[in-house]
Protein backbone atom coordinates (compact mmCIF):
# COMPACT_ATOMS: atom_id res chain seq x y z
CA UNK A 1 0.00 0.00 0.00
CA UNK A 2 3.02 2.26 -0.17
CA UNK A 3 3.06 2.93 3.56
CA UNK A 4 4.25 1.55 6.91
CA UNK A 5 2.47 -0.30 9.68
CA UNK A 6 2.97 -0.69 13.42
CA UNK A 7 1.34 -3.39 15.52
CA UNK A 8 1.46 -4.06 19.25
CA UNK A 9 -0.11 -7.18 20.77
CA UNK A 10 -0.22 -7.39 24.58
CA UNK A 11 -0.46 -10.70 26.47
CA UNK A 12 -0.87 -12.75 23.29
CA UNK A 13 -2.65 -16.02 24.10
CA UNK A 14 -0.57 -19.19 24.19
CA UNK A 15 -0.07 -21.03 20.93
CA UNK A 16 0.25 -17.90 18.78
CA UNK A 17 3.63 -16.29 18.30
CA UNK A 18 5.06 -13.31 16.45
CA UNK A 19 5.26 -15.34 13.23
CA UNK A 20 1.55 -16.11 13.35
CA UNK A 21 0.59 -12.45 13.61
CA UNK A 22 3.09 -11.58 10.89
CA UNK A 23 1.44 -14.20 8.67
CA UNK A 24 -1.96 -12.60 9.33
CA UNK A 25 -0.53 -9.18 8.43
CA UNK A 26 1.06 -10.40 5.22
CA UNK A 27 -2.04 -12.30 4.11
CA UNK A 28 -4.51 -9.48 4.81
CA UNK A 29 -2.42 -6.73 3.24
CA UNK A 30 -1.67 -8.83 0.16
CA UNK A 31 -5.37 -9.67 -0.23
CA UNK A 32 -6.52 -6.05 0.05
CA UNK A 33 -3.77 -4.95 -2.33
CA UNK A 34 -4.80 -7.54 -4.94
CA UNK A 35 -8.41 -6.45 -4.63
CA UNK A 36 -8.34 -2.66 -4.15
CA UNK A 37 -5.07 -1.19 -5.44
CA UNK A 38 -5.29 0.95 -8.58
CA UNK A 39 -1.49 0.77 -8.75
CA UNK A 40 -1.89 -2.85 -9.95
CA UNK A 41 -3.22 -3.56 -13.43
CA UNK A 42 -4.25 -7.05 -12.27
CA UNK A 43 -6.23 -5.95 -9.20
CA UNK A 44 -9.95 -6.50 -8.83
CA UNK A 45 -10.65 -2.76 -8.82
CA UNK A 46 -8.59 -2.26 -11.99
CA UNK A 47 -10.63 -4.95 -13.74
CA UNK A 48 -13.82 -3.28 -12.52
CA UNK A 49 -12.60 0.05 -13.86
CA UNK A 50 -12.05 -1.59 -17.26
CA UNK A 51 -15.45 -3.31 -17.27
CA UNK A 52 -18.03 -2.04 -19.79
CA UNK A 53 -20.77 0.37 -18.75
CA UNK A 54 -24.10 -1.30 -17.99
CA UNK A 55 -22.71 -4.79 -17.38
CA UNK A 56 -22.85 -6.51 -14.00
CA UNK A 57 -19.34 -7.27 -12.73
CA UNK A 58 -18.89 -9.99 -10.07
CA UNK A 59 -16.80 -8.85 -7.09
CA UNK A 60 -15.50 -10.34 -3.86
CA UNK A 61 -17.44 -9.95 -0.63
CA UNK A 62 -14.63 -7.70 0.62
CA UNK A 63 -14.81 -5.26 -2.29
CA UNK A 64 -18.61 -5.28 -2.08
CA UNK A 65 -18.42 -4.38 1.62
CA UNK A 66 -16.08 -1.46 0.95
CA UNK A 67 -18.20 -0.11 -1.90
CA UNK A 68 -21.34 -0.43 0.25
CA UNK A 69 -19.73 1.72 2.93
CA UNK A 70 -18.39 4.15 0.32
CA UNK A 71 -21.85 4.74 -1.10
CA UNK A 72 -23.29 5.19 2.41
CA UNK A 73 -20.71 7.88 3.28
CA UNK A 74 -21.22 9.50 -0.13
CA UNK A 75 -24.91 9.88 0.64
CA UNK A 76 -24.33 11.02 4.23
CA UNK A 77 -21.86 13.70 3.13
CA UNK A 78 -23.95 14.99 0.24
CA UNK A 79 -21.32 13.89 -2.25
CA UNK A 80 -18.33 15.16 -0.28
CA UNK A 81 -16.93 11.63 -0.27
CA UNK A 82 -16.83 10.01 -3.69
CA UNK A 83 -14.77 7.01 -4.81
CA UNK A 84 -15.33 7.91 -8.48
CA UNK A 85 -13.08 10.98 -8.26
CA UNK A 86 -10.09 9.12 -9.78
CA UNK A 87 -10.03 10.97 -13.16
CA UNK A 88 -10.08 14.33 -11.36
CA UNK A 89 -7.21 13.29 -9.10
CA UNK A 90 -5.28 12.26 -12.20
CA UNK A 91 -5.99 15.62 -13.85
CA UNK A 92 -4.32 17.36 -10.89
CA UNK A 93 -1.40 14.92 -10.93
CA UNK A 94 -2.43 12.86 -7.89
CA UNK A 95 -3.06 9.12 -7.74
CA UNK A 96 -1.77 6.06 -9.58
CA UNK A 97 0.17 6.83 -12.75
CA UNK A 98 -0.72 10.55 -12.66
CA UNK A 99 2.83 11.88 -12.77
CA UNK A 100 3.71 15.06 -10.87
CA UNK A 101 1.07 17.39 -9.33
CA UNK A 102 0.23 20.28 -11.64
CA UNK A 103 -2.46 22.79 -12.59
CA UNK A 104 -4.89 21.33 -15.13
CA UNK A 105 -6.69 23.37 -17.74
CA UNK A 106 -10.16 24.63 -16.78
CA UNK A 107 -11.52 23.01 -19.93
CA UNK A 108 -10.01 19.70 -18.83
CA UNK A 109 -11.79 19.87 -15.47
CA UNK A 110 -15.08 20.90 -17.09
CA UNK A 111 -14.85 17.90 -19.42
CA UNK A 112 -14.70 15.60 -16.38
CA UNK A 113 -18.07 16.75 -15.03
CA UNK A 114 -19.86 13.74 -16.48
CA UNK A 115 -17.29 11.23 -15.24
CA UNK A 116 -17.67 11.78 -11.49
CA UNK A 117 -20.56 10.73 -9.26
CA UNK A 118 -21.21 7.63 -7.18
CA UNK A 119 -24.89 7.76 -8.13
CA UNK A 120 -23.85 5.81 -11.23
CA UNK A 121 -22.57 2.88 -9.13
CA UNK A 122 -25.11 0.14 -8.46
CA UNK A 123 -24.58 -2.80 -6.09
CA UNK A 124 -26.39 -6.12 -5.81
CA UNK A 125 -26.11 -9.06 -3.42
CA UNK A 126 -26.18 -12.85 -3.73
CA UNK A 127 -23.85 -13.01 -5.52
CA UNK A 128 -22.05 -9.70 -4.85
CA UNK A 129 -21.71 -7.65 -8.01
CA UNK A 130 -21.33 -4.09 -9.26
CA UNK A 131 -22.70 -2.24 -12.26
CA UNK A 132 -21.48 1.10 -13.59
CA UNK A 133 -24.40 2.88 -15.21
CA UNK A 134 -22.06 5.54 -16.63
CA UNK A 135 -18.34 5.70 -17.31
CA UNK A 136 -16.61 5.66 -13.93
CA UNK A 137 -13.11 4.99 -12.58
CA UNK A 138 -13.00 4.04 -8.90
CA UNK A 139 -10.25 4.90 -6.42
CA UNK A 140 -10.40 3.45 -2.88
CA UNK A 141 -7.35 5.03 -1.24
CA UNK A 142 -9.56 6.98 1.21
CA UNK A 143 -11.33 3.90 2.58
CA UNK A 144 -9.43 0.67 1.79
CA UNK A 145 -6.63 1.21 4.36
CA UNK A 146 -9.20 1.53 7.13
CA UNK A 147 -10.90 -1.64 5.93
CA UNK A 148 -7.55 -3.46 5.95
CA UNK A 149 -7.08 -2.46 9.58
CA UNK A 150 -10.52 -3.85 10.42
CA UNK A 151 -9.64 -7.15 8.72
CA UNK A 152 -6.41 -7.35 10.72
CA UNK A 153 -8.31 -6.70 13.94
CA UNK A 154 -10.70 -9.53 13.07
CA UNK A 155 -7.79 -11.87 12.31
CA UNK A 156 -6.06 -11.06 15.60
CA UNK A 157 -9.30 -11.48 17.54
CA UNK A 158 -9.81 -14.87 15.89
CA UNK A 159 -6.44 -15.91 17.38
CA UNK A 160 -7.73 -14.96 20.81
CA UNK A 161 -5.91 -11.63 21.14
CA UNK A 162 -7.85 -9.16 23.27
CA UNK A 163 -5.36 -6.32 23.76
CA UNK A 164 -3.74 -4.81 20.69
CA UNK A 165 -3.17 -1.68 18.62
CA UNK A 166 -2.90 -1.71 14.82
CA UNK A 167 -1.67 1.30 12.85
CA UNK A 168 -1.48 1.30 9.05
CA UNK A 169 -0.50 4.53 7.33
CA UNK A 170 -2.05 6.55 10.15
CA UNK A 171 -5.27 4.50 10.36
CA UNK A 172 -5.54 3.06 13.88
CA UNK A 173 -7.70 0.47 15.61
CA UNK A 174 -7.41 -0.51 19.26
CA UNK A 175 -8.65 -3.37 21.40
CA UNK A 176 -8.53 -3.71 25.17
CA UNK A 177 -5.62 -2.09 27.02
CA UNK A 178 -1.93 -1.41 26.53
CA UNK A 179 0.97 -3.07 28.32
CA UNK A 180 0.51 -0.83 31.37
CA UNK A 181 -3.14 -1.84 31.68
CA UNK A 182 -4.32 1.59 30.53
CA UNK A 183 -6.32 2.75 27.55
CA UNK A 184 -4.28 3.19 24.38
CA UNK A 185 -2.86 6.70 24.16
CA UNK A 186 -2.96 7.90 20.53
CA UNK A 187 -1.57 11.23 19.36
CA UNK A 188 -3.20 13.44 16.73
CA UNK A 189 -0.55 14.96 14.46
CA UNK A 190 0.08 18.69 14.34
CA UNK A 191 -0.26 19.97 10.74
CA UNK A 192 2.88 21.42 9.16
CA UNK A 193 5.07 20.12 12.01
CA UNK A 194 7.62 17.32 11.93
CA UNK A 195 5.89 13.95 11.36
CA UNK A 196 4.70 12.48 14.65
CA UNK A 197 4.45 15.81 16.49
CA UNK A 198 1.12 15.67 18.37
CA UNK A 199 -1.28 18.55 18.84
CA UNK A 200 -3.50 16.49 21.15
CA UNK A 201 -3.82 12.90 22.40
CA UNK A 202 -6.82 10.67 23.02
CA UNK A 203 -7.39 7.53 25.11
CA UNK A 204 -9.01 4.63 23.27
CA UNK A 205 -10.21 1.18 24.30
CA UNK A 206 -11.69 -0.64 21.33
CA UNK A 207 -12.22 2.36 19.04
CA UNK A 208 -10.62 3.36 15.75
CA UNK A 209 -9.17 6.74 14.79
CA UNK A 210 -8.29 8.31 11.44
CA UNK A 211 -6.93 11.71 10.43
CA UNK A 212 -7.21 13.38 7.03
CA UNK A 213 -5.22 16.53 6.27
CA UNK A 214 -3.93 18.83 3.56
CA UNK A 215 -0.36 19.11 4.82
CA UNK A 216 1.36 15.98 3.45
CA UNK A 217 0.36 16.03 -0.23
CA UNK A 218 0.11 19.41 -1.93
CA UNK A 219 1.87 21.65 -4.41
CA UNK A 220 2.30 25.37 -4.85
CA UNK A 221 1.72 27.12 -8.20
CA UNK A 222 1.58 30.85 -8.89
CA UNK A 223 1.91 31.46 -5.15
CA UNK A 224 -1.19 29.40 -4.29
CA UNK A 225 -1.30 26.16 -2.33
CA UNK A 226 -3.23 23.25 -3.88
CA UNK A 227 -4.10 20.26 -1.67
CA UNK A 228 -4.59 16.68 -2.81
CA UNK A 229 -7.99 16.82 -1.06
CA UNK A 230 -10.33 17.26 -4.02
CA UNK A 231 -13.96 18.25 -3.68
CA UNK A 232 -15.73 15.87 -6.10
CA UNK A 233 -18.57 18.34 -6.52
CA UNK A 234 -16.34 21.13 -7.85
CA UNK A 235 -13.49 18.95 -9.18
CA UNK A 236 -11.05 21.31 -7.49
CA UNK A 237 -8.91 21.19 -4.33
CA UNK A 238 -10.67 22.42 -1.22
CA UNK A 239 -10.10 26.10 -0.44
CA UNK A 240 -11.39 26.41 3.14
CA UNK A 241 -9.30 26.86 6.29
CA UNK A 242 -9.47 23.26 7.49
CA UNK A 243 -5.98 21.73 7.84
CA UNK A 244 -6.95 18.35 9.31
CA UNK A 245 -9.89 16.30 10.55
CA UNK A 246 -9.68 13.45 13.05
CA UNK A 247 -12.57 11.01 13.46
CA UNK A 248 -13.04 8.38 16.16
CA UNK A 249 -15.43 5.54 15.31
CA UNK A 250 -16.11 1.92 16.16
CA UNK A 251 -14.58 0.58 12.96
CA UNK A 252 -11.62 1.97 11.05
CA UNK A 253 -13.27 1.88 7.62
CA UNK A 254 -15.94 4.35 8.76
CA UNK A 255 -13.37 6.55 10.51
CA UNK A 256 -11.17 6.58 7.39
CA UNK A 257 -13.98 7.52 4.99
CA UNK A 258 -15.60 10.07 7.30
CA UNK A 259 -12.29 11.86 7.92
CA UNK A 260 -11.95 12.42 4.17
CA UNK A 261 -15.61 13.41 3.82
CA UNK A 262 -15.42 16.02 6.58
CA UNK A 263 -12.11 17.31 5.22
CA UNK A 264 -13.91 18.05 1.96
CA UNK A 265 -16.96 19.61 3.62
CA UNK A 266 -14.91 22.11 5.63
CA UNK A 267 -15.10 23.35 9.24
CA UNK A 268 -18.67 24.59 9.42
CA UNK A 269 -20.48 21.94 7.38
CA UNK A 270 -18.17 19.23 8.67
CA UNK A 271 -18.72 20.03 12.33
CA UNK A 272 -22.47 20.38 11.75
CA UNK A 273 -22.60 16.88 10.21
CA UNK A 274 -20.52 15.50 13.09
CA UNK A 275 -22.96 16.88 15.64
CA UNK A 276 -25.94 15.69 13.61
CA UNK A 277 -24.56 12.14 13.44
CA UNK A 278 -23.09 12.05 16.96
CA UNK A 279 -19.53 11.66 15.64
CA UNK A 280 -16.39 12.21 17.72
CA UNK A 281 -14.47 14.72 15.59
CA UNK A 282 -11.48 17.02 16.12
CA UNK A 283 -10.70 19.83 13.66
CA UNK A 284 -7.53 21.88 13.14
CA UNK A 285 -7.99 25.14 11.20
CA UNK A 286 -5.45 27.54 9.74
CA UNK A 287 -5.89 31.18 10.74
CA UNK A 288 -3.82 34.34 10.26
CA UNK A 289 -2.72 33.95 13.89
CA UNK A 290 -1.76 30.26 13.61
CA UNK A 291 -3.79 27.12 14.21
CA UNK A 292 -7.20 26.95 15.86
CA UNK A 293 -8.87 23.74 17.08
CA UNK A 294 -12.51 22.73 17.39
CA UNK A 295 -14.14 19.52 18.51
CA UNK A 296 -17.56 17.93 18.43
CA UNK A 297 -19.47 17.33 21.65
CA UNK A 298 -18.72 13.62 21.65
CA UNK A 299 -14.96 13.99 21.13
CA UNK A 300 -14.44 15.21 24.70
CA UNK A 301 -15.18 11.73 26.06
CA UNK A 302 -11.85 10.49 24.67
CA UNK A 303 -9.69 13.20 26.25
CA UNK A 304 -7.89 12.44 29.50
CA UNK A 305 -8.81 15.95 30.59
CA UNK A 306 -12.22 16.50 28.94
CA UNK A 307 -12.08 20.25 29.50
CA UNK A 308 -8.97 20.64 27.31
Do 158 and 243 fall into the same domain? yes
* pLDDT of 286 above 60: yes
- State pLDDT tens for residues 60-93: 999 999 999 999 999 999 999 999 999 998 898 8
Q: How many domains does the chain have?
A: 2
CA 82 – CA 233 distance, rounded (Å):
9
- Mean pLDDT, rounded, for 158-184: 96
The DSSP-derived string for 190-207 is: PTTSSTT-EEEEEEESS-
Which of 36-45, 85-94, 212-221, 227-236 is the least confident region?
212-221
Considering the domain boundaries, does residue 14 fall inside one? no
Counting every residue written for the chain, the total comes to: 308
CA 7 – CA 205 distance, rounded (Å):
15
Q: State the residue range of the domain holding 222.
A: 144-302
Distance of alpha carbon 292 from its chain centroid, rounded? 23
- State pLDDT tens for residues 287-298: 888 899 999 999
Average pLDDT of the chain to the nearest whole number: 92
Smallest CA-to-CA distance from 113 within 133, 78, 77, 87 is with 87
Residue 103 pLDDT: 84
Q: Which of 103, 132, 161 is the last residue of a domain?
A: 132
- Mean pLDDT, rounded, for 182-193: 88
Considering the domain boundaries, does residue 217 fall inside one? yes
* pLDDT of 219 above 80: no
- Asked if 43 contacts 62 with a C-beta cutoff of 8 angstroms, the reply is no
CA angle, corner 144, sides to 139 and 147, nearest 5?
160
Q: CATH number, domain at 234?
A: 3.10.520.10
CA 156 – CA 163 distance, rounded (Å):
9
* pLDDT of 20 above 90: yes
Smallest CA-to-CA distance from 267 within 283, 246, 252 is with 283
Considering the domain boundaries, does residue 26 fall inside one? no
- Asked if 256 contacts 210 with a C-beta cutoff of 8 angstroms, the reply is yes
Which of 25-29, 103-107, 302-306 is the least confident region?
302-306
Do 150 and 288 fall into the same domain? yes
Do 158 and 283 fall into the same domain? yes
Residue 54 pLDDT: 98
Q: In what order do the strands lie in the sheet with 208-213?
A: 5-10, 163-168, 171-175, 208-213, 242-249, 280-287, 290-295
* pLDDT of 191 above 90: no
237 forms beta bridges with: 230
Amino acid sequence: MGTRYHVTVVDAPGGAGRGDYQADLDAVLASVDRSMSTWRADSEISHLNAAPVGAWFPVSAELHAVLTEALAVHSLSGGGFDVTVAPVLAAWGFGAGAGAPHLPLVTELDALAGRVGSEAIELADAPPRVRKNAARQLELAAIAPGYAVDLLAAAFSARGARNFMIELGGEVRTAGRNGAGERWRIGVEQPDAAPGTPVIAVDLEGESISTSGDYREFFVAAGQRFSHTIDPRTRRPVEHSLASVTVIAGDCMRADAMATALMVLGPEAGLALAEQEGLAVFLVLRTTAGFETRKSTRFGAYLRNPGS
